[in-house]
Amino acid sequence: MQSILHSLRNVFAGLLLLSVLLAPIFSCSLYRNDRMWIPDKKYEVARKTYDNTNSLALTEQALRESHEWQRAEINEAIYRLKKQYLLE
């Protein structure tokens, strides 16, 4: 009986840890227009891409095609670019 309770406790702890680790990945990208925080280094990549293309659409396309950005991160980068360059 003790070993069953110990095993169940380990399974529960593992599931809890997994949910805590995966929550930031899935929590902010449920809807198409959701945004999530990105570090300044990642934003710099988006800013440099925008400076080279001078187009939000091309910047978004380049970020999407790099497969290193989640949809919500791209949304955040585009939002910050619009604010920085007064595009809206």
pLDDT per position as a tens digit, 7-61: 778 777 777 776 666 665 555 556 778 999 999 999 999 999 999 999 999 999 9
C-alpha 1/C-alpha 53 separation (Å) is 65
pLDDT band with cut points at 50, 70 and 90 for residue 4: confident
Q: Please state the domain extents for the chain.
A: 1-29, 31-88
pTM, full prediction: 0.65
Give the Å distances, CA to CA, from 42 to 12, 53, 59, 81, 82.
Answer: 35, 17, 13, 12, 16
